[in-house]
Every structure is written in structure tokens, then in C-alpha cells.
């Protein structure tokens, strides 16, 4: 527990404080040195998306935001957000709320399911319907409450507890130092920082300098999040010293982003078809919670994913204009066939044009 230089290691420092450490044993995929996780996203990180990303290199995934109060009340729709596919691994439950005891009870219910590796608290979502409840990034305006919540969660379960937050409400009110002190005192296992302030939403500069300061100021593992879309942006965030990266919106149009490999996106037709099959399976499981039949529910849900796979590719704009004309799985299948043909024709046209100019592959 002592480092070679005679100093106490980070794990030893945290153990002395009673903090539950969680190593990042999940190995990186491909040539990138850090593990990459799929960040929690409301309405997106359901089992189909999680499993698809895991199949393409995500070392850990998180559920959608799960309302602790709804879970405690036994709301079946809330409980369904905790469904997992048998093939899923390394899934964490992502909870939100602002009442310590209700969050603790929700965490106990999550732990009893036996499906999850850990509990993650949302303390960073800037969406008004969440902050109006005193949850998400609203907790940065009430740090004593955040401390009570984290302490209650850690005491309630044996699973490791982490939380995802921001650098502060706005640049004039940075709270990351106080947040880290709370994290250390309460015994959480790690902290994820979205490297922006709440006031920025999901746009604007990521403050990697402040993230690096946060990493250097604590023995806790820090994970980084915010505008990681490719290898250069991942490398930039990795320079801060974070232990892992959380990728969010970039995964929606490229679930294979987690390898951070150079080169073109994998075959979007194959990705879309795999996602569609997983979505149909999931919706069949949801029959008890939906008035729609599984096919109709799959089509409605998948339409918002479909355009993302083909953004910037031939035929994408035409597809976007006709998304609401897709009412059946057969409609989606025909649209995918047509897109595939346009992509092949475009690539062949590019090759023919290059050949005409005397440019040949080597």
C-alpha cells in the first residue's frame, strides 16, 4: 500500500478515510490507452444501445436516468428502465433524485436485482425538468444535500457508489473543489466530471485545464466526459490524467467510436440492422408496459436513431424528410436497402471519377 517513493498510494489514502475504492480493471479496446464508457443518456442508453456499444468496445455502460422516487413507489415503467439483456456486462445503474433516504432505498432495490456493478448518481444534468425537482445539477447549489445523499447511498449498499457532475453552476461559481472534498469524505469510489459548467449545457469549450486541476487535487479516480467524438478529442482529455473516458452523443451515430480507431465509420447498414433487431427484442419484453405492439413501438423508437447512422452520407437528407412515413419494420427495411444502394453507387462513382483522372489505389 506504499508507493516506491515511500508515499502513501492513492488507494491507501482513500482506504484510511474509509472510501470504497474501485479500480478500473476494464481494459482499453484497440490502441487507445484508457477504457471508454458509454455515458448515461435519457431515452437513449436502453439495453439495445448499451449492448450494441458493448459489442463495439464500450468497457462499461450506464442505464438511462432512473427516478429514485418512481422506483421506490414501484412504478413499473421506472422499474423497466433497469431491465438488462442477459449478454450485457459491466452495467451501472444511474439514479437521480434529491431525497437522501429515497435514493438510498432505490439503491437497495437496484442492488437486490443483482444485475449491476455499481450505483451512479446524477449530479450534473442541466435539463429544467430535472433541476426543477432539485436533482441533477441543482445539487451543486445545495452541496450539504449532495453530501447527505452520497453518504446515504454509500451506507445503503455494498456496491461501489460514484456520481457524475459538472465543474460548477457557472464560471463564476466553480464548485469542483468542494465537490471533491465531499466525495472523499463520503466514501464514493470515483467521480465523473463533465468538463463544462451547468450554464454551458452541452455546448461551448470544455475546460480541460480545470479538469486536470481536479485530477491532481485528489486521490480519487476521476473520469472525464464532454465532447469526446474521436481520437484527437479523446487524446486531449486523456492528457488531464483521468482514469477513463465517458462518451455520449458521438456514440449515437457511431457505436463503434469506443475503439477510437482512425478511419471510416463501420458499415452503417450493418450497425442499423443490428440495432433494429435488439430494439425489437427489447420492445417485446416491454409488452406489459406499453399499449403499442412491439413492432409499432420499435418503429417509433428506432426512427430517432435511424437518421443518426447515415448523417452526412448519400441519401441521408432524403431519409430525414421521409422518417415519419416509416410505419412498419418492412418500411425501415426498404429504407435501409435504398440507402445501401445509394452508398454503394456513390462509392463506385468516386472510384470511377478517380480512375478517369488517372488516380489509382495502391
pLDDT digits (tens, 9 = 90+) for 231-280: 999 999 999 999 999 999 999 988 999 988 776 667 888 999 999 999 99
Q: 13 pLDDT band (50/70/90 cuts)?
A: very low
Angle CA(151)–CA(50)–CA(124) in degrees, nearest 5?
40
How high is the pLDDT of residue 215? 98
What pLDDT is recorded for position 6? Answer: 36
User: Is 203:36 a contact under the CB 8 Å cutoff?
Assistant: no
**At CA 21, angle to CA 25 and CA 48, rounded to 5?**
50
Helix (H, G, I), strand (E, B) or coil at 39: coil
The residue with cell 460514484 is 162
Average pLDDT in the 309-328 region? 81
pLDDT above 70 for 27: no
Per-residue confidence band for 37, with pLDDT thresholds at 50, 70 and 90: very high
pLDDT digits (tens, 9 = 90+) for 86-128: 999 999 999 999 999 999 999 999 999 999 999 999 999 999 9
Count of CB atoms situated within 10 Å of the CB of 14: 21
Per-residue pLDDT at 130 exceeds 60? yes
CB-neighbour burial class of residue 16 (10 A; exposed 0-12, middle 13-18, buried 19+)? exposed
The mean of the pLDDT values for the chain is 87
Element housing 76 (H / E)? helix 76-80
Q: Which one-letter DSSP state was computed for residue 8?
A: B
Write the burial class of residue 278 (CB in 10 Å: 0-12 exposed, 13-18 middle, 19+ buried).
Answer: buried
Query: Strand 36-38 relative to strand 91-96: parallel, antiparallel, unpaired?
Result: unpaired
Q: Is the pLDDT of residue 16 over 70?
A: no
Contacts of 305 (CB under 8 A, 6+ apart): 49, 252, 272, 275, 279
Q: What is the pLDDT of residue 28?
A: 59
In whole angstroms, give the CA distance from residue 76 to residue 163. Answer: 25
Q: Which of 153, 151, 183 is nearest to 165 (CA)?
A: 183
SS3 of 34, please? coil
Q: Active-site residue numbers?
A: 125
What is the pTM assigned to this prediction?
0.87
Amino acid at each position: 500500500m506504499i508507493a516506491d517513493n515511500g508515499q502513501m498510494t492513492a488507494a491507501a489514502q482513500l482506504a484510511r478515510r474509509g472510501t470504497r475504492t474501485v479500480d478500473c480493471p476494464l481494459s482499453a479496446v484497440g490502441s487507445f490507452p484508457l477504457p471508454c464508457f458509454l455515458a448515461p443518456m435519457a431515452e437513449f442508453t436502453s439495453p439495445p444501445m448499451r449492448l450494441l456499444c458493448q459489442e463495439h468496445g464500450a468497457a462499461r455502460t450506464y442505464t438511462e436516468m432512473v427516478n429514485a422516487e418512481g422506483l421506490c413507489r414501484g412504478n413499473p415503467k421506472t422499474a423497466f428502465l433497469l431491465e438488462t439483456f442477459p449478454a450485457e456486462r459491466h452495467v451501472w445503474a444511474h439514479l437521480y433524485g434529491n431525497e437522501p433516504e429515497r435514493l438510498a432505498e432505490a439503491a437497495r432495490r437496484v442492488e437486490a436485482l443483482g444485475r449491476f456493478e455499481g450505483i451512479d448518481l446524477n449530479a450534473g444534468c442541466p435539463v429544467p425538468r430535472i433541476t426543477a425537482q432539485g436533482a441533477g445539477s441543482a445539487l451543486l447549489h445545495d452541496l450539504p444535500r449532495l453530501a447527505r445523499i452520497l453518504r446515504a447511498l454509500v451506507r445503503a449498499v455494498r456496491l461501489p457508489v460514484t456520481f457524475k457532475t459538472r465543474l460548477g453552476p457557472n464560471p463564476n461559481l466553480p464548485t469542483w473543489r468542494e465537490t471533491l472534498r465531499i466525495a472523499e469524505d463520503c466514501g464514493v469510489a470515483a467521480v465523473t466530471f463533465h468538463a463544462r459548467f451547468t450554464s454551458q449545457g452541452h455546448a461551448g469549450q470544455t475546460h480541460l485545464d480545470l479538469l486536470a486541476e481536479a485530477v491532481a487535487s485528489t486521490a480519487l479516480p476521476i473520469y472525464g466526459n464532454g465532447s469526446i467524438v474521436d481520437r484527437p478529442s479523446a487524446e486531449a482529455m486523456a492528457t488531464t490524467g483521468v482514469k477513463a473516458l465517458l462518451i455520449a452523443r458521438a456514440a449515437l451515430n457511431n457505436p463503434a467510436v469506443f475503439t477510437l480507431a482512425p478511419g471510416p465509420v463501420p458499415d452503417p447498414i450493418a450497425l442499423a440492422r443490428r440495432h433494429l433487431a435488439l430494439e425489437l427484442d427489447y420492445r417485446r419484453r416491454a409488452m406489459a408496459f406499453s399499449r403499442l405492439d412491439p413492432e409499432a413501438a420499435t418503429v417509433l423508437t428506432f426512427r430517432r436513431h435511424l437518421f443518426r447512422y447515415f448523417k452526412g452520407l448519400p441519401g441521408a437528407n432524403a431519409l430525414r424528410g421521409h422518417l415519419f412515413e416509416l410505419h412498419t419494420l418492412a418500411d425501415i427495411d426498404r429504407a435501409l436497402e435504398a440507402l445501401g444502394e445509394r452508398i454503394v453507387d456513390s462509392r463506385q462513382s468516386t472510384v470511377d471519377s478517380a480512375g478517369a483522372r488517372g488516380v489509382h489505389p495502391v
